Amino acid sequence: MSTITAGLTELEQICGDDKETYEALINTMFLDPRKIEISIREAVENAKKYEKDKNISRARVWYEIAGGLAIYEGNPKKVVEYFSESERISGAKYSITRRAEKAVAKAQEFYKKYLTTALA
């Protein structure tokens, strides 16, 4: 793994001075999404099932998982869709819905650098 500069994490280095994008990603992206053993489709199905059952906290988590996987897949449209669904049912707010394009680009940069390094 590469050296961390001046105590900054890899993600902080990639985001640089763009603190808003860093904040949008820090609580929404998976550092190693390869360890998530569920597809986006399954996560959304679970979210809808729990929403139908009025279990909002579980539905919210499943929409967040779907959104995190969409970040990994590089799909800003789906990122907005899934985190917006979580906002709708829970009242939570996610800044990533307002900066999905930029955040997904930075996440992809992180994944390209980190995940290939982690495999080496």
CB 2 within 8 A of CB 113: yes
CB 24 within 8 A of CB 94: yes
Q: Give the containing element (helix H, strand E) for 46.
A: helix 40-52
pLDDT of residue 1: 38
**Residue 30 CA to its chain's centroid (Å):** 6
| Amino acid sitting at position 54 | K
User: For the chain, what is the total number of helices (H) and then of strands (E)?
Assistant: 6, 0
| Mean pLDDT over the full length of the chain | 91
pLDDT of residue 14: 94
Neighbours of 116 (CB within 10 A): 9
pLDDT of residue 114: 86
Q: Read off the pTM.
A: 0.88
Residue 4: pLDDT band with limits 50, 70, 90: very low
CB 8 within 8 A of CB 112: no
Q: What is the pLDDT of residues 56-105, one digit of tens each?
A: 999 999 999 999 999 999 999 999 999 999 999 999 999 999 999 999 99
